[in-house]
Amino acid sequence: MTYEEECTEGFICPITQELMTDPVLAEDGVYYEREAIVEWMKKKKQSPVTREVMTGKFFPDEVLKKRIEQYRKLHPERTNR
């Protein structure tokens, strides 16, 4: 899978540009690495992608997390960028 395909599958955090390990869905409808979006929200109360105002509610996605874990097992060279 190419980097572009990883992005299409929703495996890449738009903040860190890395494969996520703890993906969460934010109010803007975008998936982020939990730690990255929590840190972002401490500084700015808006989406890093859409720039819309956000309150900081995040929803874990266990299905996406498992898909990324499976992908990492199949592609160990992609564990770090």
For residue 45, the domain's CATH number is 3.30.40.10
3-state secondary structure of 6: helix
pLDDT higher than threshold 60 for residue 7: no
> Which token pair is 66?
């498992």
Distance of alpha carbon 19 from alpha carbon 27, whole angstroms:
20
> Is 81 part of any domain?
no
Residue that has been written with the tokens 């770090």 in this structure: 80
Highest mean pLDDT out of 5-9, 60-64, 73-77: 60-64
Structural domain includes residue 73: no
- The pTM of this model reads 0.85
Percent of the chain surpassing pLDDT 70: 86
Structure tokens belonging to residue 78: 């992609």
Segments forming the whole domain that contains residue 42: 3-63
Q: How far apart are CA 32 and CA 12, in angstroms?
A: 8
Question: What is the per-residue pLDDT for 62?
Answer: 96
Q: Is residue 80 part of a domain?
A: no
Instruction: Specify if 78 maps to a domain.
Output: no
**Which of 2-6, 24-28, 75-79 shows the highest mean pLDDT?**
24-28
The total number of structural domains that make up the chain? 1
